[in-house]
Structure 1
Amino acid sequence: MSRNVNPSGKNQYNPVLKFDDEKLVAALRSYHREQLTSNTKISARLLSDHGIQMSDSTVKRRRKRLGLTGSGVTTTALGQDIAEQLVLEQMDQDPAKRHGVRTIQAKIAFNKEIHLKRDFVSAVMHEHDSDGFAGRDPTCKKIRRDPKFPIGIHERWAGDGHDKLYKIGYPLWAVVDDATGKWLGAWIVPSNRMGEIVAYLFLCLVEKFGGMPLQFTTDCGSETTKLFGLANALRNIFHPEYDLEELPAHVYLRSVHNISIERQWLRLRLDWGDNVVMFFNKGVEDGVYNAQIPQQYELCQWLWPMLLRTELQKFVDFRNGARVRLDKTKPGPSGMSRNEAFSLPENWGGRDCLLPVDTEVIRAIKEHMGGDALLEFTSAEFSARAQEVYDSLKIVNLSLENVWGVFTAMYPLLYGAEAL
């Protein structure tokens, strides 16, 4: 008679993922890029974001096995020359000199998965570009703000258009979560002043999250009237228990008071937008691009939106993963990244306020409006031809540094040598 009381070999504990599990590795590297080093917080994020149950000590062992070390160990292990080169390379990607120490440090972590000590980054930046610090002194006039008291995520979404890239022909529309400041979506669009496009982007987010917020806020622009009607209609259909008089589905605010989204624009311009404009204008100044030539304009309208959408998503991912400084006087989340605040609202006393909707209905409305074709800068026929030519060049990575070179290579292949 067998004395084995557990012949299956299983116990009450769930199996723990191996260190090389693809899903686990991707998650741990993502958190490392956010500069999240607390094993306790990582354990909580794994459970909230991916349903992975793992103790703090196991997280620590998995991170060590993957070489995901903190700034002190990493800076020492890399050595002075390599670490300094990482800082200088990141500074080179900021010709407008808008990035401070914290931004450079965070971008190295985000782009390279390498943590460097802040003091080291500061020392390198002071040595090689001390004038840049004087140029980043804040000079903007302050507007009086009253504190917000958020109750949770999806309580309110704030949307707005950004026109600083209009000067090169690429307007932007974005939406953030009011409580956490997390970027929910950002898009390069043919126009951010067309009501159809703005309403469509709202539906994209509703479909993405499977629901709508308690309230949406925008400024008073005419492009938001369709959004206003759509938000009210969806609320009436799916959640008639909320009175539109007592809790409006959409509220108009002056731009200076729609602060959740408005405060994001300065950072976007300094971290990203100013450099984009400089790289774009370089092609004009060097005689590579002339917008008055229809073929050049057509190709530019296909190539640059593709690049900007990729670069904009990188900016969004970076900002959502960057840790916000701790402010004990501030109601709501602080001392954590926007991703963490959004994934774990209970950590700062919040809750999930999302109002579920039938996403099949949302998809049907989007299709009736014209689908993703609303967001395209060129015709479907030209886009297909341009994509074929682009693929034939086997471009490994389209970037701000090489985009005009790719433009020059694609042009004769699309229009013939006589077009040059």
Structure 2
Amino acid sequence: MFCPFCGHDLGTVQAFCGSCGKNLQFLTEAEDDRSALDSPTEEDLIRNYFEDGYSHDEILDFLATVHSVKMSLRSLKRKLKSMSLSRKKNYSSPATVHAAIQKELKGPGQLHGYRSMWQTLRQKYSLTVRRDDVMALMRQVDPSGVQLRASQRFVRRVYSSLGPNYTWHVDGYDKLKPYGLAISGCIDGYSRKVLWLVCGASNNDPGVIAQNYIRCVSEGGVIPMRLRTDCGTENGTMAAIQCTLRSPYTDVFAGAASHMYGTSMANQRIESWWSYFRKQRSQFWMDLMSDLRERHLFNGSHEHTCLVRFVFLGVLQGDLDECRRKWNTHTIRPVRLSRCPSGKPDVIYNLPHRFGGTDCGFPVSQEELGQFAVESTYSLCGDAQLQAYFEDLQRQSGLVQPLTWESCVESYIRLKNMAEM
């Protein structure tokens, strides 16, 4: 406590200031009034414990142990009666209880069962109501919630989309990156159609990602309503192009709102597809590259990764194209909790009217795309000098461009030996 006149530290409230001598009696009176307000009365304690659902014995024990208030059971019942507090009389009107339940169901209370709702009504709203009555009202007011809780299943969030091109999900795949093979992919959230699946020297270069985006937009002649990526710097140029192309529009997601950053784990559509991709495709290539490493044919150096890209990139890209084509023409089975339709991704994407969807994309002309000149510093194998060197070795040895993974392995070993790496 400090003196309001001179600022001297008083320690405790005193009648006069030891520094300036001013009368501080008004501070003493204010402190007493504050203490009186802070300390609850006996009736307040009884009411609080009663509304929290404690039994008579528990209330008496709390009063004696925590508050040093000793009282007999008969006195407690008499006080409860004088305060009109009873669990079996003076029930609240059904309309009041119904209104309170409706209010709770608009917020987090929609997750409550009838027992939890009954406790909320007593503690938060000070209502006197039978638990069976709350159960009956919950069945009447919230039948779907009662059915969900009765199934005892964890309710997950459901992905929802208005139609194709509503959201594009973009992400990079790094499982083959230790071997110099970086993959970038994009999938449409509504149809689950893979829009691009490209392998190159890098998926961290903003120019590379932007080129993939512009190529896809140019082929389809449409930009998505929203673009969803993680917070990596490689997505910055693509995000700027998306926001620029969407800036002339006036919808709620126009301009800067047309791109959404988020964590990779929350980018569920593309992350889910990467799981399928590993099971169906990439695990083979990971095992193949791991075998080269175990045979001491690959050591992770810059020269070795460039040679892997030079030899394997064409065949791997062909395999990615085949995987993309297979996925886009296969049938997605119905899922009970999914709001997106089932069927072939290509059909869902191009014929959304058959599934009750609407194409949410916006047309874009080649002239509009022409203003974005995006260049990447990466060559095919990631190093222009090594690229020329490997091409010379290939011509000298008479090797042709490999078409299968077996011929890729043979060409890699032969070029590696010729280069004495």
- TM interval, shorter chain, is 0.5 to 0.7
1:232-276 deviations in whole A, cap 9, x for unaligned? 11112xx33335569821011232322111111111112122221
Contact 1:168–1:280 under 8 Å retained in 2: yes
Residues 1:412 and 1:256: Cα distance change in structure 2 (over 3 Å): closer
Contact 1:215–1:250 under 8 Å retained in 2: yes
In structure 2, how many angstroms separate the alpha carbons of the residues matched to 1:386 and 1:220?
36
Which residue of the partner structure matches residue 374 of structure 2? Answer: 369
3-state SS, counterpart of residue 196 of structure 2: strand
Residue type matched to 1:350 in 2?
A: G
Contact 1:153–1:354 under 8 Å retained in 2: yes
Matched, 1:267 2:259: no
Matched, 1:201 2:208: no
Matched, 1:172 2:183: yes
Where in structure 1 do 4 or more consecutive aligned residues deviate above 6 Å?
none
Residue type matched to 1:376 in 2?
A: L
Residues 1:151 and 1:272: Cα distance change in structure 2 (over 3 Å): same
Contact 1:197–1:375 under 8 Å retained in 2: no
In structure 1, how many angstroms separate the alpha carbons of the residues matched to 2:267 and 2:327?
19
Matched, 1:393 2:402: no
In structure 2, how many angstroms separate the alpha carbons of the residues matched to 1:281 and 1:257?
30
Any residues of structure 2 matched to 1:130-149 within 5 Å, and which?
145-149=156-160
Residues 1:387 and 1:353: Cα distance change in structure 2 (over 3 Å): farther
Residue type matched to 2:260 in 1?
A: V
Matched, 1:318 2:329: no
1:307 to 281, 305, 315: 315
In structure 2, how many angstroms separate the alpha carbons of the residues matched to 1:189 and 1:197?
9
Which residue of the partner structure matches residue 183 of structure 1? Answer: 194
Residues 1:194 and 1:286: Cα distance change in structure 2 (over 3 Å): same
Contact 2:244–2:255 under 8 Å retained in 1: no
Residues 1:377 and 1:333: Cα distance change in structure 2 (over 3 Å): same
Relative contact order higher in (CA < 8 Å, ≥ 6 apart) = 1
TM-score by length of 1: 0.56
Contact 1:288–1:404 under 8 Å retained in 2: no
In structure 1, how many angstroms separate the alpha carbons of the residues matched to 2:302 and 2:211?
32
Matched, 1:408 2:396: no
Give the gaps of 5 or more residues in structure 1. 1-141
- The share of aligned pairs that are identical, in percent, is 21
3-state SS, counterpart of residue 223 of structure 1: helix
In structure 1, how many angstroms separate the alpha carbons of the residues matched to 2:168 and 2:341?
16
Residues 1:344 and 1:220: Cα distance change in structure 2 (over 3 Å): same
Residues 1:314 and 1:143: Cα distance change in structure 2 (over 3 Å): farther
Contact 2:226–2:259 under 8 Å retained in 1: yes
Matched, 1:337 2:344: yes
- Residue-pair matches, total: 267
Residue type matched to 2:413 in 1?
A: T
How far apart are 1:285 and its partner, in Å? Answer: 2.0
In structure 2, how many angstroms separate the alpha carbons of the residues matched to 1:248 and 1:307?
39
Residues 1:299 and 1:223: Cα distance change in structure 2 (over 3 Å): closer
How far apart are 1:213 and its partner, in Å? Answer: 0.5
Bigger-Rg structure (1/2): 2
In structure 1, how many angstroms separate the alpha carbons of the residues matched to 2:361 and 2:379?
26
Residue type matched to 2:198 in 1?
A: W
1:204-233 deviations in whole A, cap 9, x for unaligned? 221121121011011222332333222111
Residue type matched to 1:406 in 2?
A: S
Matched, 1:152 2:163: yes
Residue type matched to 1:353 in 2?
A: C
- Which piece of structure 1 moves more, 239-248 or 348-357? 239-248
1:331-354 deviations in whole A, cap 9, x for unaligned? 2211x2212222321221112222
Which residue of the partner structure matches residue 114 of structure 1? Answer: none
Which residue of the partner structure matches residue 378 of structure 1? Answer: 382
Contact 1:190–1:375 under 8 Å retained in 2: yes
In structure 1, how many angstroms separate the alpha carbons of the residues matched to 2:380 and 2:366?
23
Which residue of the partner structure matches residue 241 of structure 1? Answer: 250
Give the gaps of 5 or more residues in structure 2. 1-152
Residues 1:158 and 1:145: Cα distance change in structure 2 (over 3 Å): farther
Contact 2:297–2:413 under 8 Å retained in 1: yes
Residues 1:288 and 1:215: Cα distance change in structure 2 (over 3 Å): same
3-state SS, counterpart of residue 152 of structure 1: coil
In structure 1, how many angstroms separate the alpha carbons of the residues matched to 2:267 and 2:154?
12
- Which piece of structure 1 moves more, 176-185 or 278-287? 278-287
TM-score by length of 2: 0.56
1:145-195 deviations in whole A, cap 9, x for unaligned? 422332211111111112222232322211100101110001123332333
Contact 2:179–2:300 under 8 Å retained in 1: no
Q: CA RMSD in A?
A: 3.0
Residues 1:247 and 1:151: Cα distance change in structure 2 (over 3 Å): farther
